[in-house]
Amino acid sequence: MAFVIRQRQIAADNWQLLKPAADGSAPALPADGDVIVPLALWRGQRADLLARSGRLGVWLDGHEDPAEIAGDLACFALVAVNFSNFGDGRGYSIGRLLRERYGYKGELRAIGTVVRDHLYYMAGCGFDSFLMRDGEDPAESLAAFGDFSDSHQATVERPLPLFRRRSGTTASGH
Amino acid sequence: MYIYDEIDQRLVDERVSQYRDQTRRFLAGKLSEDEFRALRLRNGLYIQRHAPMLRIAIPYGLLASRQLRKLAHIARTYDRGYGHFSTRQNMQFNWPQLERVPDILAELATVQMHGIQTSGNCVRNITTDHFGGVAADELIDSYVWCEVLRQWAMFHPEFSYLPRKFKIAVNGAQADRAAVKIHDVGLHAVHDANGELGFRVLVGGGLGRTPIIGSVIREFLPWQHLLTYLDAILRVYNRYGRRDNIHKARIKILVKARTPEVFAQEVESEWAHLKDGPATLIPEEIQRIEARFTRSAYAKLPATDANLEVALAADRAFRNWHLRNVVRHKVPGYAAVTLSLKKTGVPPGDVTAEQMDAIAQLADRYSFGELRVSHEQNVILADVKLSDLHALWQEAHALGLATPNIGMLTNIICCPGGDFCSLANAKSIPVAAAIQERFDDLDYLYDIGELDLNMSGCMNACGHHHVGHIGILGVDKQGAEYYQISIGGSQGNDASLGKVLGPSVSQAEVPGVIEKLIEFYLAHRVADAERFIDLVRRIGIEPFKEHVYGVRNQAAADRRRQLATA
C-alpha cells in the first residue's frame, strides 16, 4: 500500500490526487473533499476551485515552471511535485525554487516515483511530505532521513552550507 | 594529500552503511534491477561483460602511498591481483563480487577512499592537471579548488539525479593540462587586471558520439562566486536538459540547441538570484581546506646536481628516460617523474598488486609518500630530488615502469575495450599492443617526436580518441570489429577535434596505417621541431589520406592482379 510521510511521521491522508485522463483532458472535479489538481486545471477553472468547500492543492509535473504559481501560493494548502520516474531529478530544483525563491511555507509533497533512496535529497530540497510508492517499507523509509548526518551544501533544512556553520559566518561573502 | 576531518570521515562511513543496505535490499528482491542500477552506479559499480566492475574515486588523481597499498590489498583479496587506472584518474577493478562490494568500500573508508559518484547521472570525480602544485607555470594550486568542488558536489541534494553524467575539470596553470575544453564544465584559473583570482568558465565540451569543444560563457568569475555560479549552471541543466534520449542528454546538447550565448544568459539570470547567497565562498574556507593538505617538506637544494650530470653523460638509456619522463619542478633541486604504465604488451593503465606495493614504496622513499595518477594513465612522483633520479630510474626500470615514452606514440591512451567492457564495439588493448610492437625501436620513436595516440573501443570515447593527434575508434561493421582512424586532434590550450581519415580498416591493418601516416610525416616535415600535429594543421588531412588509401588501394589492386595471373 502507498502511504504518506508528513513531518517525518507516517500520516493519515485524505487528499485526492487528480490526474488528467489518458487522452490528456482535465479530470472531473469531485463536489467536495480535499483535492490536488493538475496545473492545467488550476489555470482553466481557478474560480470554480476557489469556490469549493474542500481544501485545495496543486501539482506540478517535472517540465512545468513553478513561476506560474508563484503569485498564487496563498491559494494552496498543499503543493505537490511529480517525479515521473526513479531518475527524474527536475523536481528537486522545483522544490528549491518554491521554497527559496517563491517563499512557499506550506506543505510540499513529493509524488510519483518516491522511494526510500530519494528521501534524504528531497528533504534537502524542501519537501516535507511524501506520497511513497507502492511497496515501500514504512520503517525503512523513515530511517532514510538519517542516511547522512550532515551535508556540505546549503539545503532548505540547513540554509547555511557546512563551511559557514564551521566558520561561524552567517552573512554573505565579502 | 587532503586529510579528512571528522565530518568528511563520517559521511564516507555513512555512505558505506547506506550502500550495504541497498545491496541487502537488492539481494532480498526488494529493489528491482533497474532501480538498483541507478543506486549502484553512483557508487561506481557496473555490471560488465564478465563480472561487475568497481570504479574507485581517486579525487583529482592524488593518492597517498598507504592508499595505494590498500588498493593493492583489494586487488589481491577481492580481485585477480591487478587494477586499471582509467582516463578519469580513477582505479577500476574488473572482477569483484557484487556481494562483497560493501566490504571493499568499508576497507577503502579506512584510508579515506570511496566509490562515491564515480558513475551515474551526477557530478563525477573532479579532475585536474597531474602537475598541480609543482608546475612552474601555475597560478594556483588546483588541488585546493578541486577539493572545494568535491565537497560541494558530494551528495548535492539538488543535483544527484541529473539528465546525464557531469564532468568538471579545473586547470590552475597557464598551459591546460586538464583538458578543460572537453568537459561539461571547464574552469581555467585566471587573474584579472587587479590581480584578483577568478576562473574562465567553459561549458558544453565533451567527446562521445557528439564531440564538441566547450564554449566560454564567462571570461572571469571571481573565485568567491564559484559555487553559486555552478549551482546556476547545474540548475538550468537539471531543469531543461533532455531526459528523453540518453544520447542527447549531456549538457553539450542543451548548450548547442540554445546556442552558448543564450545558455549563458539563462545562467546569468538564474545566478542573479543565487549570487552573494550563503554558498558564496569565504577566504576562511579556502584557508581551512588549504591547511588540511599535507605539504612536501622540501629541502633547500641547489638548482643542479653534479652527480646527475655525470650519470646523464654516462648512460644513454638513463638520458633517454630523463629526456622523456622527467619534468621541471618549481622548487630548485627537485623534478617530477612519470612512471610509465605503457610497457609494450601490457594493457595501458593496468597495474599489478605487486607493482602497486612497489610504487607505494618508491613514493615513500623518493616523493614524500604521495603520487598522482594522470589522465594519460601513468603514475607521477611529483617531488623527487635531482640527486635521487638515477637511483629511482634503476628501481623503476627493474619494475618495468621506466619505459621512456611519455608524450610519444607508444604512450597510448586506451580504454579497456571489448575484452572487458560491455559497451565496446571492438577490442582496443591488442591493437595498442600491436602498435607498440611495431614502434618498438626507440631511435625511430624519438625521431618521430611528440605524438599523442588515443584509442577508444566505441563512440563513448573513454580513450579520448577525438583529441589524439592520431585517434583510433573501434566500430562495428556487420558484426566485425573495424577501426576508424582520425588525425589532427589535440588537447590543451589549442584543443581541436580530429578528422576522420577515410574508411575504417581491420584490426590487422591498423599498425600498417599508423606506419604510413608516420612515414608521410617524416618525409614532409620541414624540421624536427615540426610535430606530427603541426604538419597536419599546416597541410590538412588530404595528403595523408592519399598516402594511406592510395597506397592501400594500390596494394589491393596488385593483389588482384597477382591472383588473376596466378
How many Å lie between the alpha carbon of A54 and the closest alpha carbon of chain B? 32
Q: Which residue of A has its CA nearest to B227?
A: A153
- Tell me whether residues A117 and B39 touch, CB distance under 8 A: yes
Q: Kindly indicate the confidence band of residue B560, based on its pLDDT and cuts at 50, 70 and 90.
A: low
Model confidence band, residue A172 (pLDDT cutoffs 50, 70, 90) = very low
Distance CA B44, CA B52 (A): 10
- The arithmetic mean of pLDDT across residues B460-482, rounded, is 91
Q: Residue A97: inside a domain, yes or no?
A: yes
pLDDT average, residue stretch B325-351: 89
Percentage of chain B modeled with pLDDT above 70: 97
Q: Which domain holds residue A67?
A: 4-148
Nearest CB to A167 within list B22, B121, B285: B285
Probe site for chain A from B35, B122, B158 (most A CB atoms < 10 A): B158
Number of domains in chain A: 1
- Once rounded to an integer, what is the mean pLDDT over residues B292-305? 95
Has residue A165 been placed in a domain?
Answer: no
CB-based contact (8 Å) between B507 and chain A? no
Cα B484 from Cα B507, distance rounded (Å): 10
Task: Judge whether A45 is closer than 8 Å to chain B, CB to CB.
Answer: no
Q: What does the pLDDT average to over B24-37? A: 90
**Main-chain phi, psi angles of B215, to 5 degrees:** -110, 140
Q: Which of the residues A81, A133, A148, A169 would you substitute to probe the B interface, choosing the one with the greatest number of B C-beta atoms within 10 Å?
A: A148
The predicted model gives B86-105 an average pLDDT of 91
Q: What is residue A108's three-state secondary structure?
A: strand
Contact between chains at A125 and B157 (C-beta distance less than 8 A): yes
pLDDT for position A173: 41
Answer whether residue A51 is part of any domain.
yes
The interface residues of chain B toward chain A in range 7-66, judged by CB-CB distance below 8 A, are 7, 10-11, 14-15, 18, 22, 30, 34-35, 38-39
Judge: A124–B10 Cβ closer than 8 Å, yes or no: no
Residue B306, pLDDT score: 96
What is the DSSP annotation of B476-496?
Answer: EETTEEEEEEEE--B-STT-B
Closest partner CB to A172 (pick from B155, B160, B280): B280
| CB of B328 less than 8 A from some CB of A | no
CA distances from B171 to B2, B187, B465, B504 (A): 18, 6, 21, 35
Size of interface A-B (CB pairs under 8 A): 117
Name the DSSP class of B134.
T
Report how far apart, in Å, the C-alpha atoms of B101 and of each of B15, B68, B314, B537 are: 12, 18, 50, 48
Whether pLDDT at B50 is above 70: no
Residue type, A71: G
Task: Please answer yes or no on whether A173 and B284 come within 8 Å at the CB atom.
Answer: no
Chain B positions touching A148 (Cβ under 8 A) are 11, 14-15, 18, 155
Task: Give the residue on A whose Cα is nearest the Cα of B285.
Answer: A163
Whether B155 and chain A come into contact, CB under 8 Å, resolves to yes
Do the domain assignments include residue A167? no
Give the burial class of B48: count Cβ atoms within 10 A of its Cβ; 0-12 exposed, 13-18 middle, 19 or more buried.
Answer: middle
Domains of chain B: 6-59+80-109 (no CATH), 127-286 (3.30.413.10), 306-398 (3.90.480.20), 413-565 (3.30.413.10)
Q: Is residue A118 part of a domain?
A: yes
Model confidence at B232, pLDDT cuts 50, 70, 90, reads very high
* Dist CA B484 CA B476 (whole Å): 10
**Where residue A18 sits, what CATH number does that domain have?**
3.20.20.70
Report if residue A131 sits inside a domain: yes
Residue A30 lies in a domain: yes
Tell me whether 0.90 is exceeded by the ipTM: yes
Query: Is B403 within 8 Å of chain A by CB?
Result: no
Sign, CA dihedral B547-B436-B169-A117, equals positive
Please tell me which residue, B85 or A1, carries the higher pLDDT value: B85
Of A90, A121, A167, the CB nearest to B282: A167
Cα separation, B497 vs B206, in Å, equals 10
Picking from B161, B229, B292 by the largest number of A CB atoms within 10 A of its own CB, the best residue to mutate is: B161
CB contact under 8 A, B276 and A172: yes
State how far the Cα of B487 lies from the Cα of A24, in Å rounded to an integer. 52
* Per-residue pLDDT at B283 exceeds 70: yes
The pLDDT tens digits of the residues spanning A55-79 come to 999 999 999 999 999 999 999 999 9
Q: Domain for residue A171, yes or no?
A: no
Find chain B residues with C-beta within 8 A of A150's C-beta.
Answer: 7, 10-11
Asked if the C-beta of A134 comes within 8 angstroms of chain B's C-beta atoms, the answer is no
pLDDT in tens, A9-39: 999 999 999 999 888 888 889 988 999 999 9
The answer on pLDDT for B248 being more than 60 is: yes
Q: What's the confidence (pLDDT) of residue B557?
A: 59
In this complex, is the C-beta atom of B159 within 8 Å of any C-beta atom belonging to chain A?
yes
Instruction: Please tell me which of A90-104, B197-211, B368-382 the model is most confident about, judged by mean pLDDT.
Output: A90-104
pLDDT at site B349: 85
Residue B49: what pLDDT?
A: 61
Q: Which segments within B285-365 are labelled E, that is strand?
A: 326-328, 334-339, 350-352
Cβ contact B159–A89 (<8 Å): yes
Residues B269 and B349: their CA atoms lie apart, in Å, by 43
Band of residue B566 on the pLDDT scale cut at 50, 70, 90: low
From chain B, the residues in CB contact with A159 under 8 A are 278
DSSP A19-52: ---TTSPPPPPPSSS-EEEEHHHHHHSHHHHHHS
Cβ separation A147–B14 shorter than 8 A: yes
Instruction: Name the band, by pLDDT with cuts 50, 70 and 90, for residue B376.
Output: confident
pLDDT for residue B561 is more than 70: no
Interchain contact, A174 vs B39, CB within 8 Å:
no
